[in-house]
Structure 1
Amino acid sequence: MNVPVWDDGSWSGLPRLEGDLEAEFCVIGLGGSGLSAIQELLRLGHTVVGLDAGWVAGGAAGRNGGFLLAGLAKFYHQTVLEQGRDLARRLYQATLEQIARMMSETPQAIRQVGSLRIAATAEELDDCQAHLEALQADGFAAEPYEGPEGRGLLIPTDAAFNPLLRCRMLARQALERGARLFEHSPALCISGQEVQTPLGRVRCRQVLVAVDGRLEQLLPELQSRVRTARLQMLATAPVERRFPRPVYRRWGYDYWQQLPDGRIALGGMRDAGGEAEWTTEAEPTQAVQACLEQLLSQQRIEAPITHRWAASVAYTPTGLPIAEEVRPGVWAIGAYSGTGNVVGALLGREAAWVLHGGRMPGAVWLA
């Protein structure tokens, strides 16, 4: 129970931090965004220590649905309306380029098969049309879709991936290049020059907190702008091939993909859980899991359920992520509102350049 389908049991683990270390930078959080930042800092020639309270990708980074979607949490036409066409277009293009970069970094973990946004109601189908028209108006690839999954739109540039495999590959690469990474080493006290853990301490020039769920607990300054929720998933034994692309349905509240071996990874139904799902607890619940089983049945999937799991993710009221200096010398990125796989990796790279003292070429968030 509470083991994601992505976990094949092959990770040998990393040591706890014991004693004092020095490095130019300390990165807290060994998920997709933190590891992306560490990789970029190493490329820029810096020394880095990375810490995680659990294990590599033990949070949402290794427990999500495995979608690589361009853009932000809100659909493209909504982003255009709220943020302006110029910024929306630059952000979308930057995430497209980030997907391509991720494919080049860890090709074994990623399949660029596109994604489907499927409407559950006539109102949502109208919104899919507005989404499609906005993407096409700005020259981005998208087309109307009607098929066994339903009606909506197809975005061919999106991808599906194994999130845990990718993070573990990045961690191994970082270790080979000289990064010092530690698991089960929670940050108890964070300043711009020092991070204390239960058994050790890192002295450094600056700190990057790259955490999604529970970000507001680690940095209480963000409590008025960040709120953590629980996302739940399940997976089945292999079934016949039915879903060549990941499916995003009912405004993103339901989502699933079929893995290369035929297993179905399905999640969502957070709204069915109501206020109880606004929690920092990350254990599956009977109520939401029952709804996920109903969704599975609605898709006519008949197979034993082999995995059930949950993860903590953070949301902001605007849907825009946190990306800022929250204390002198302490930067934070996170709160991706449920879609952090691409944006988080992009922000990790941009944050690394800020720590480096420059601006990443093409940066859209941190200049």
Structure 2
Amino acid sequence: MRDYPNTYYSATRRPAADCAPLRGTAAADVCVIGGGLAGLSTAWELVRRGRSVVLLEAQRIGWGASGRNGGFVLQGWSEGLRKIEARCGQDHARALFALSVEGVEIVRGTIAGHALPGCNPTPGKLSVTRYEAADQLQRHRDHMARTYGYEFTYLDRPTLRGLLKSDIYFQALRDTVGFHFHPLNYCLGLAGLIEGAGGRLFEGTAMTGIHRDGMVGGTAGTGGRWRVETADGSVACHDVVMCGGGYGGPEFGPLRRAFLPIATYVVLTERLGDRLQDHVATTDAVGDDRRSSDYYRVVEGDRLLWGGRITTRYEQDERRLAALLRRDISGVFPGLAKVRIEKAWSGLMGYARHKMPHIARIEDGLWSCSSFGGHGMNTAPIGGRVIAEAITGESDRIRLFAPYGLTWNGGIFGPAAADLVYAGLRLMDFWQESRSRRQGA
């Protein structure tokens, strides 16, 4: 079991007791595999509904992408709503969008209702453009209000540049419902709630295999209990929920063949003091319109937590990471070209080719709640709720994700294809932004 990586979040995490590894056998109604936000959300929703739960985490609670991301909790999905409408129809798209908003409220309500410490929720998010898009943004604002009942505030160029003092940006939409927070402390808070409600959590316990175990009602092979194997024990259960993210291996079977591990890079700057107001005069989180976007927010009052560089390359050299993202920061705010980077890290997320999560029943008693890369921190909580409702028979909302199944990730060719796609998207960004600057000159 590895300790937490050296990130801003691990340095400021709340005190929490370690969970022992699983030794020997255990039994539960449900075994949840993965102690990130998806696994914790699923376990919490199940124990609240009276199910006994065992959760297995290969490393530490929130060790992977769930505990080292940008910390954005926002409406929507990684796949755009227009594309969801085209694939599923507008009524279906509305239902999926409503689920994403419900996910935001789950996180907000859990923090407030249980007074989870150290989460530091801060409202507001600016979606900014790097090219002239006034008409486009206002049409999108109107479409969201008319079709989805969701309100954005439009910011013109002078207003935006009063908040983000950069010549790079043109216009923005402000989301006043979304917020940003400390994701690792939220994960640790959920773990405490699960244990307090009787759930059992095991760290340093990697799943090594899953198979049917025994007979129920005299019929072998169908409807039987499952057995989840680990190096030093096993769990017998009625249902298994696989919540592994970008770090999941071949033991995840069809789920691992359906997602790609995609990396993102994040840095934390030195304290900027009064200099911050010369560049960033808002507490809103910020994300730009690039296909491989920059995203950032202010933490501790005067530091920037900055992320970006979506890629299949899992870079762990902190000096290289710092240099890459310092270059991105100075491209937006030239006055920060020499800013000191105090921490730099990367993480792997699970991405699906269709850009929607894998929330599905794989077979009787075997479920997936995974592939939340690029979605923000609202989607895993609503995924956990939908899975729990399906297991308990409370609802069939899981059917809303049926159009987005476990499609093949491309196998050994998947990462190379993804890099080629991202390279093309970056070229499109460059062309679009250059054209806008020429027109504005």
TM-score, normalisation: structure 2: 0.75
Q: List aligned pairs for 1:245-260, cutoff 5 A.
A: 245-249=284-288, 250-251=290-291, 253-260=293-300
CA distance in 2, matches of 1:361, 1:317: 22
CA distance in 1, matches of 2:37, 2:184: 9
CA distance in 1, matches of 2:17, 2:341: 26
Assess, with a 3 A threshold, how the Cα gap between structure 1 residues 143 and 252 changes in structure 2: closer, same or farther: farther
Greater C-alpha Rg: 2
Q: Select the residue among 242, 266, 290 that pairs with 1:209.
A: 242
Match of 2:142 in 1: 133
Assess, with a 3 A threshold, how the Cα gap between structure 1 residues 332 and 69 changes in structure 2: closer, same or farther: same
CA-CA distance at 1:15 after TM superposition: 0.9
Match of 1:329 in 2: 365
Deviations 1:228-269 (A, max 9, x none): 111110011232453310001124521001124322110002
CA-CA distance at 1:85 after TM superposition: 1.7
CA-CA distance at 1:158 after TM superposition: 1.0
Match of 1:266 in 2: 306
Q: List aligned pairs for 1:78-89, cutoff 5 A.
A: 78-89=83-94
Assess, with a 3 A threshold, how the Cα gap between structure 1 residues 71 and 284 changes in structure 2: closer, same or farther: farther
Contact 1:76 1:135 in 2 (8 A): no
CA-CA distance at 1:112 after TM superposition: 4.8
Q: List aligned pairs for 1:184-195, cutoff 5 A.
A: 184-191=204-211, 193-195=226-228
Q: Which amino acid aligns with 2:125?
A: S
CA-CA distance at 1:365 after TM superposition: 4.0
| Of 327-336 and 40-49, the range deviating more from structure 2 | 327-336
Alignment of 1:5 with 2:8, yes or no, is yes
CA distance in 2, matches of 1:85, 1:292: 39
Match of 2:233 in 1: 200
Match of 1:226 in 2: 259
Match of 1:115 in 2: 125
User: Is there any run of 5+ residues in structure 1 with no aligned partner, and where?
Assistant: 271-276
Higher relative contact order (CA 8 A, sep 6+): 1
CA-CA distance at 1:113 after TM superposition: 1.5
SS in 2 for 1:331: strand
Q: List aligned pairs for 1:319-358, cutoff 5 A.
A: 319-358=355-394
Q: Which amino acid aligns with 1:323?
A: I
CA-CA distance at 1:303 after TM superposition: 4.0
TM-score, normalisation: structure 1: 0.89
Assess, with a 3 A threshold, how the Cα gap between structure 1 residues 263 and 215 changes in structure 2: closer, same or farther: same
CA-CA distance at 1:66 after TM superposition: 0.4
Deviations 1:117-148 (A, max 9, x none): 111223x6665445323212222111212313
SS in 2 for 1:106: helix
Assess, with a 3 A threshold, how the Cα gap between structure 1 residues 87 and 54 changes in structure 2: closer, same or farther: same
- Name the % identity: 24
Q: Select the residue among 54, 75, 82 that pairs with 1:49.
A: 54
CA-CA distance at 1:79 after TM superposition: 3.1
Assess, with a 3 A threshold, how the Cα gap between structure 1 residues 136 and 177 changes in structure 2: closer, same or farther: same
CA-CA distance at 1:327 after TM superposition: 4.3
Q: Select the residue among 141, 153, 169 that pairs with 2:173.
A: 153
Q: Select the residue among 161, 178, 184 that pairs with 1:164.
A: 184
CA distance in 2, matches of 1:282, 1:84: 39
SS in 2 for 1:24: strand
Q: Which amino acid aligns with 1:256?
A: Y
CA distance in 2, matches of 1:27, 1:362: 17
Assess, with a 3 A threshold, how the Cα gap between structure 1 residues 101 and 330 changes in structure 2: closer, same or farther: same
User: Is there any run of 5+ residues in structure 2 with no aligned partner, and where?
Assistant: 213-225, 403-441
Aligned residues: 358
Assess, with a 3 A threshold, how the Cα gap between structure 1 residues 207 and 223 changes in structure 2: closer, same or farther: closer
